[in-house]
Amino acid sequence: MIAEVIINRGAKKLNRTFDYNIPEHLEDLIIVGSKVLVPFGKGGNPEEAFVVGLKEKSNYEVKDIIRLEENLSDKQIELAKWMSKRYFCNVSDCIRLMQAPGTKNKDKSKRIQDKTINAVYLKKDIEEIEFDIETKKIKSEKHIKILRFVKDNEGATIPEIELFTDCSRAIVNTLIKNGYLEVVEKKVDRDPLANKKIPKSSRLKLTDEQENAYSKIKESIDNNRYEQFLLFGVTGSGKTEIYLQLIEDVLTKNKKAIMLVPEISLTPQMIERFISRFGKETIAVLHSKLSIGERYDEWNKIKENKANIIIGARSAIFAPVSNLGIIIIDEEHDSSYKSESTPKYDSKEIAKKIAKEVNIPLVLGSATPDLKTYYKAINNEITLLELTKRANNSNLPKVEIIDMKMELINGNRSMLSMELYNSIEENLKNKYQTILFLNRRGFSTFIMCRDCGYIVKCKNCNISMTYHSYENKLKCHYCGNEQNVVTTCPNCGSKKIRYFGTGTQKLEQEILKQFPNAKTIRMDVDTVTKKNSHEEILNKFKNEGIDILIGTQMVVKGHHFPKVTLVGVVAADSSLNIDDYRANERTFQILTQVAGRAGRENLPGKVVVQTYNPDNFIIQTAQKQNYKMFYDTEITLRKQLKYPPFCDIIVIGVSGKDLNEINSSSQFMYQELVNKLKQNEEIKIFKPMPCPIDKIQNRIRWRIIIKAKMTDELNEILNLVLKDMYEKEYKNTKFSIDINPNNMT
Ligand code: ADP
Ligand code: ZN
Ligand code: ZN
């Protein structure tokens, strides 16, 4: 392989690429973006350079690259190699996660001064883009580089892309024209903490429960010993206070801390708590809302040992931190810790690997632990630490269950039960706030003919089109395809077309009809866009005297609203019926979390749960906020049906545009798997089948599912089979393997 490099010097005449040979031992390690040392000029002096492109051949006689000046350590390379096997991806995919965002290291990007910027986003699904790269529909290295850069830095501006990828604006524009990228005008959130005086806080005296948990973890810090803990504590039980004190202990030993939180709970309030304890200087925050320049600065702050506490979302586990003393993962059950695009890694696994290697504690915190985590805790693989009481003595909210079947019998056909209606009325009178929650994922405002059952679907994706009332259009959320609203059924000609929605719009209309003076705000897929963030809506709700927040699952997490005293769960059941083995677990988590939004401080909270299945054990245990009762029933079910934690669900994706090839390749792969793996009680291989969504953006999707524990041996065999498949010249087909994917569609 030949590397095209740019010499790292300011001279104008050096502003071009030079070819170098990549010696064999570096072949797997050098990627676009590596910092390398090359012999340069007459004397062949070693010179620093950046790799900007890779190609097969050069027209010149070329010298060897001397070495990789990786900004990465051997440990990181090791980790990248391990990840590549474990998650079935390229080493370079993993290295990219560990490098500073962008590759420029001289001129810093300009700070954004404008109030609005033109932010660049991927217009296509990343899987679709990776597919086009693999099938050579996208060939240019520069195109690939920009697309991958935008994947990692969504919302970067065109000048930032130019600066950090060394590609010209013209290339970005080509990608926009070809439908791969889109430009969205966006308001710049100024750093809400920039000029804010944050009062200092200090250690609180811990409660007995807190003290017990704290001292167990502290022991592991003091003895430089790896140990994994589950800090299982109800909402408000003082988990964060424990994190703060542990981190303080780690800092006094001149060590550092990584704290992962779900992106959505990485709010100014949360960061404020850390700043108030430790000061701003020592903290680095990594999340996707930062501009690429800011992220670059944070990354370097860590690298140069100026930050001791790293707070960030999933990928912050790869921050270049030395001398780590603790890793904390808050809300450990959150599905965002598992990446759904290549590399499809699980940051909890990565954290465990790192913690083991450097002999430090790994703390997982949650009020509703991942069933797998709790199972391990029960079986002594993880040390269980419990907090059963709220730290500030506020009470858990009272949860009332309303049987909607009875409401119907009593002649109430509205979306609100009498109980919820009365509670809202009272809350409005008292000037407290209300959250109304529809337990839906959002993508489901679909259109159906009531006579023949015909559903309007996207012709590219075979998934139902979503109705957008604002534009009065039907849109596909997978490919962006748009069409006009239908009023007669294309199948049978009937005019009885009905809209089935997430119901947030309908609910808002109904609320405004019944409570004309209420001020409402809505949060769902229609209102949360690239332009208008989830954060902005929540801030409005908090600060602009809005009475009622109406939303889908997005409202559940993170925020702390002191004036919210009522939470209404309008449709508790809908997530019970999704086609996923985690439906029960997710419903329980959602209901418990949403109930935790009510009555956080001195005002008492009330939760009204409307359901058609009042006897269902999920609804029952969520009402009692009794995780253990939920766990006992659910784990029995999982055991009977052989689902995780009793095995892993391994999904082998086979996709492409050529149905014949998909058919033959997936049959071939299935046979290979059957030949190489002994099927028995422990390993089950299912025949190739179309995925539930069997077409996205005209790409046909099939899969083979394996139910088995992912052992090293199985991992090896799968890697071999995958390699074979790629050598078999199925040119138009892409294969991928995902372990326990979040989404089974
Ligand atoms: P969690 O992270 O479990 O939701 P927090 O750490 O946020 O809980 O604590 C909830 C509230 O209780 C916060 O307002 C916090 O300041 C307070 N708190 C926590 N620990 C104590 C303590 N030991 N004494 C008094 N108040 C506490
Ligand atoms: Zn019809
Ligand atoms: Zn589509």
For 633-688, write each residue's pLDDT tens digit. Answer: 999 999 998 899 999 999 999 999 999 999 999 999 999 999 999 888 889 999 99
From 202, 206, 215, 241, the mutation candidate for ligand 1 (largest count of ligand atoms within 8 A of CB) is 241
The best mutation among 202, 211, 240 to test binding of ligand 1, ranked by most ligand atoms within 8 Å of the C-beta, falls on 240
Residue 607 near residue 598, CB atoms below 8 Å: yes
Q: How far apart are CA 577 and CA 587, in angstroms?
A: 10
Residue with CA closest to ligand 1 atom 19: 238
Ligand 1 atom with least separation from CA of 330: 2
Q: Is 34 in the pocket of ligand 1 (CB under 6 A)?
A: no
Q: How far is the CA of 444 from the centre of ligand 3 (A)?
A: 14
Specify the length of the chain in residues: 745
Q: Which residue has its alpha carbon closest to ligand 1 atom 10?
A: 236
- Sign of the C-alpha dihedral computed for residues 636, 637, 640 and 646 taken in this order: negative
Q: Which atom of ligand 1 is nearest to the CA of 601?
A: 14
- Ligand 1 atom nearest the C-alpha of 206 is 23
Who's near 663: CB < 8 A, 6+ residues apart?
Answer: 688, 702
Residue whose C-alpha is closest to residue 562's, from 609, 506, 612, 601: 601
Is the distance from the beta carbon of residue 368 to the nearest atom of ligand 1 less than 6 Å? Answer: no
Distance CA 586, CA 580 (A): 10
Q: Is the CB of 210 under 6 A from ligand 1?
A: yes
Q: What is the pLDDT of residue 184?
A: 84
Contact yes or no for 58/65 (Cβ under 8 A): no
Assess contact for 616 and 572: CB atoms under 8 A.
no
The residue whose C-alpha atom lies closest to atom 26 belonging to ligand 1 is 392
Please indicate, yes or no, whether the overall pTM of this predicted structure exceeds 0.75.
Answer: yes
**Joined tokens for residue 105:** 């290291």
- How far apart are the CA of 474 and the centre of ligand 3, in A? 11
Alpha-carbon distance of 83 to 94, in angstroms, equals 7
Q: Is the CB of 616 under 6 A from ligand 1?
A: no
CA torsion angle 552 555 557 558 (round to 10): 160
At a CB cut-off of 8 Å and minimum separation 6, what does 153 contact? 101, 102, 160, 164, 292, 295
pLDDT value of residue 707:
93
238 Cβ closer than 6 Å to some ligand 1 atom: yes
Torsion of CA 403, 407, 413, 415, to 10 degrees: -40
Digit-coded pLDDT (tens) for 318-340: 999 999 999 999 999 999 999 98
Which tokens hold the place of 318?
């790869």
Peptide bond preceding 688 in cis form (omega within 30 of 0): no
Cβ–Cβ under 8 Å, residues 69 and 38: no
Q: Ligand 1, residue 210: give the atom nearest the CA.
A: 23
Report residues of the chain scoring pLDDT below 70. 8-15, 33, 70-74, 92, 102-115, 188-193, 441-445, 469-470, 478, 500-502, 525-526, 529-532, 557-559, 577-579, 599-602
CB atoms within 10 A of CB 703: 21
Within 10 A of 681 (CB to CB), how many other CB atoms are there? 6
Instruction: Compute the distance from residue 457 Cα to the ligand 3 centre, in Å.
Output: 8
Ligand that comes closest to the CA of residue 480:
3
Tell whether ligand 1 has an atom less than 6 A from the beta carbon of residue 204.
yes
Residue to probe by mutation, ligand 1, list 235, 328, 392, 396, most atoms within 8 Å of CB: 392
**Ligand whose nearest atom lies closest to the CA of 233:** 1
Cα(461) to centroid(ligand 3), Å: 4
Query: Distance between CA 12 and CA 34 in Å, rounded?
Result: 22
Query: How many CB atoms lie under 10 A from the CB of residue 53?
Result: 18
pLDDT of 70 reads 60
Q: Give the closest ligand to the alpha carbon of residue 392.
A: 1
- Bridge partners of residue 309, in order along the sequence: 257, 283
| Residue 125 near residue 156, CB atoms below 8 Å | no
